[in-house]
Every structure is written in structure tokens, then in C-alpha cells.
A and B are shown apart, each in its own frame.
Chain A
């Protein structure tokens, strides 16, 4: 392998989009309105588009004949390195939008930095993805406002979702060894530097939506080391079903 750290670094980015894309894809045909249904499918589609670019690049770096699909669908549960936030289930529309919002705010900041990477492929993927992520962020922020400042019921549901998911936000800013190595080489993004502006931006939207910023200082972590919540295994059994049941076939 040309660069183990680069490979790991790419998976760290791509797995987030893969797992969140999978979650958003689950909702197709079940949204609260046709318009939100289309939007959620579209977000899923954007994320999978990004995923393909990342894994194709990772496959090239790995140089061991594995394809984008092998990387996406044939790893063991402990080898997926997405953050815990994105694997959380679609409990209800408030949870879905809160999860999206808490990720989008990070994702956009991250991509804006990744665009400056001296790795031209990653920089190009970032440039393309920024357009999509800004749309996602606008969409999810709008729903935070609508549900937060809508009816009493929606306010309560959205507050519960934010409270429930808040514990997964800190992990977004943790660095792995591969991250550190890539930052040093000017390839990767120093996520620790995004934390302050992230919480500031998220806080502003939540306040505008009449929601309270959770005070809890207890955070969950582990996704980046492949130690996931119990939800991921089920998601993977869907994702991997065809590749596992019918190995080595072309579709």
C-alpha cells in the first residue's frame, strides 16, 4: 500500500458519508411530505456520490485489487471508522433532522478546509462536495428552526433529539493517529481547530430556533476506533447483504 495513513484517512471521511447516506436512504417513501421525501433521498444520493469518489481513490491507494464496493461493503464491523453520530437511527423526523444538522455543520467546515489540502484528489472531491453540503446544511438548519419554533409538540420533540444526539458531537473533533500524520503532511484537516466555530454556529441556530443548548459535558466516542453503538451491526447487515450472500459477482 502506497500510504497506510492516507488510506485510513480517506476511510475516516468516507465512512461518515456512507453510513449517513444509508440511514437517509432508509426513509425513502416514508417521509412526512413528498417534498421532504425527495430532499432526504437527494441528500442520501449526494452522500453516496461522494462516497464513491472517496472509495475509488482509497482503492487506488490500497493497490490490492479491491474495488470501491469491496471497501464499502466487505469490511468487518470493527473496521468501519465513522463517527457514532451518523449511525444513530431514524427515531423520528426530529432525530433525523437533528442528526443531519449536527453532522452538516461539521461537514461543511471540514470540507472547506479539505479543499485546501495539498492532495489534489481530496481537494477536488471537497470542492464538489461543498456545494452539496451547503445545501444539506441549509435544509437541515431550516428544519431545526421550523421544528424548534413550530408547535409545542415539535419543539419538545426537537429538543429531545438534540439532547439525545448531543453526546455524539464531541467525537467529530477527535484526531486519530492517521489524522495527525495527514495534518502534518498538509493533506488532512486539523479537526480540533473546527470545534470552537462549530459549537458557536450550532449554538446560534439552536438559539434562533428557541432550543436550549444541552449542558451535558459527557460525550461518547469510539466510532473512529471502530467501536460502535449496537445500531451499526444491523445497518451493515443490510448494506452488505448482497455482497456477502453472492460473493465475487459483478452487478
Chain B
């Protein structure tokens, strides 16, 4: 294809996006668009799957049967999201095995928040309320993103995430209304998860590398700083309502701007965790890699069995 032809295709492609048309797997797309989408969608899928670990940590110890069932259902949803998003990636010509390789080798990233430990039951509440809450803020705009399979996946993902967020908040309400010990547990979880949740919305706009291009492709519709402000403004009253205190002494309502001012985020901590030195980076990766390696003989057996079945069928047909 000549350079001019490619330019022509690119112009048509950008025009389609500008008209809010969806790009589908078989449509022509610039290589950069394909790569950026594989990167973002797989990162999202990896986050869902790695995110199963900190919550899975409490399945056997959930305090009541009702909570246990709800937690299991929630984690099952996360696994479903992972499956859904890996499939969406596959529409761009990359296999799930390749994506796993990227995760296991450390080439691909996942949401850093899952590198923090879940040390008390209240962490299940905090994750649902804050982490899923921040995820929704990130993800709702993606329901209108330009790539069709991703946009459609996000509609379903967001519906379930919003249920998870309410469930997490409900765990916190119950703790906040409980005994002093329970309330302390809730406050402690909020103290530990608040700042990492703010970091989850990404680096500040002045250092975020992907924003401009992503905005154009509707992979991103609001800047990280705008999303973070939205999250804070939405969450502070929720904490107040249940009598918990946001661990930020600089937090103050700004009448003029109509939103909260907040304290300095510790970006050194953020980069430390992103670069692999958070409290649980190693544990999370080891868990994923050993599940994969120890499962190899199982997957091989399933393939061998399917192969044998196929041969038997073919023989019968002859």
C-alpha cells in the first residue's frame, strides 16, 4: 500500500471516530490504535485477574455465610470480566497465552492497587467501596469508547462494578455502625486504602504520557486529575455519612471551585509500587505464575483428550 493510500485510510478512520462510529475487529485500523488497545484492554484484564487474589484471601475467613456468598459471587464476576476482556483483546489478533506471558514476565502491567495486602475483613469493604468506586469512575466513560468490543464489554463490567461498589460500602456501613472494635477496623481500612485509591486514577496530567492520543480515540474521555477530583467529591460525603474520617488533614471544601481541595499524593510510593516494589508485588506475581505453571499438565491433558476425541469421531465417520 502506498503512503498516500495509508494516509487516506487513516483520515477515513479518524473521521469515523469523530462521528462516534464504532470500530469493529475486521475494520482497518492504524497499527498504533491496535497496539494501544491491546495494551489497555489486557492491562484491564490482568487487573481483574490479579485483583481476585487480595479478595480471594478472605473467602475462607469471611465473617458470615451471607458475606462469604457475596464475596465469592463478586470475585467470580471479576474473573468473568477478565475472561471477557481477554476475549476482546483476542479480536485484535493476540492470544490469551501471549497476554499471560506478558503478565508473567512483568512486561504487562496491572492495577498497582492490588499490590497492597488485605489484612483485615474491613479491607473487603474498602476495596469494594474505594477501589471499585475509583474503577467505575475510570470505566464508565469507556462504555462510549471507539472500539466496539471494548465498549460493549465495559457496559456489562460497569453494571457489575457498581453493584460491587454498593456491596463494599454496605460492608463499611455495617462496620461503622458496629462495636468500637468494628468501627476501628473500618477506619483503619479507610486509612490504608484511601491514598492508593487516589493513585489508582493515574499520574497527574502533566506527567501522564498516554492521555492526548487516548483522548482522541475516546479511550479516555476525562483527564486523570479530573477523574480523581470526581472520585474525591463523590466519596468524601459517603465517608462522612457513616462517620468515618478521610485521612487527609488538607481536605477542605472549596466553595469557589465547588469541589474539595486535597493534600499532596505521595507519588514516590506510587512509582515504587508500579516498578514492582510494593508490599505484595512479588506475592501476586508468584501466585499467578505458579497457578499457570502448576496448571500446565491439566491444560495439556485437556488438549490431549480433545485431540483423542476428535480422532475417534473422525474414525467413526470413515
Contacts and interface: CB of A to CB of B under 8 A. Distances in A.
B14 to A, nearest CB: 35
Interface string A197-229: 000000000000000000000000000000000
Interface in B274-318: 287, 290-292, 294-305, 308
Contacts of B53: 29
Interface string B23-61: 000000000000000000000000001001100100111
B304 A150 contact: yes
A51 B297 CA distance: 33
B205 to A, nearest CB: 34
A20 to B, nearest CB: 13
A92 interface: yes
B184 to A, nearest CB: 11
Contact of A36 (B65, B298, B300): B298
Which size bracket describes the interface of A in this complex? 35 or more
How extensive is the interface on chain B, given as a class?
A: 35 or more
A2 interface: no
Given A45-B72, A246-B63, A33 B298 contact: yes
A52 B49 contact: no
Given A32-B299, A149-B305, A37 B63 contact: no
A34 B72 contact: no
Interface stretch (A120-128, A179-187, A235-243): A235-243
A25 B75 CA distance: 11
B76 A251 contact: no
A151 B301 contact: yes
A246 B61 contact: no
B305 A146 contact: yes
A157 interface: yes
A236 to B, nearest CB: 10
A242 B63 contact: yes
B203 to A, nearest CB: 28
Nearest to B82: A34
A145 B80 contact: no
Interface in B105-160: 121
A54 to B, nearest CB: 10
B102 to A, nearest CB: 15
Interface string B175-191: 10011011000000000
Contacts of A73: 64
Contact of B59 (A25, A72, A153): A25
Contacts of B182: 246, 249
- Most chain A Cβ neighbours within 10 Å, of B62, B80, B287: B62
Most chain A C-beta atoms within 10 Å of own C-beta, residue among B52, B53, B174, B308 = B52
A93 B295 contact: yes
Nearest to A145: B305
Given A30-B287, A239-B61, A41 B76 contact: yes
B69 A149 contact: no
Contacts of A147: 298, 301, 305
A55 B69 CA distance: 14
Closest 10 A/B residue pairs (Cβ): A32-B295, A150-B301, A154-B301, A242-B63, A32-B298, A28-B56, A29-B52, A251-B63, A29-B56, A238-B60
Interface of A: 22, 25-26, 28-38, 41-42, 44-45, 48-49, 51-52, 55, 68-69, 72-73, 92-93, 145-147, 149-151, 153-154, 157, 235, 238-239, 241-243, 246, 249-251
Interface of B: 49, 52-53, 56, 59-69, 72-73, 75-76, 79-80, 82-83, 86, 121, 171, 174-175, 178-179, 181-182, 287, 290-292, 294-305, 308
Given A30-B290, A34-B83, 5 more contacts: A28-B72, A32-B295, A36-B298, A55-B65, A154-B297
12 contacts: A28-B59, A30-B56, A30-B291, A32-B299, A41-B79, A44-B59, A93-B294, A149-B308, A150-B305, A249-B179, A251-B63, A251-B178
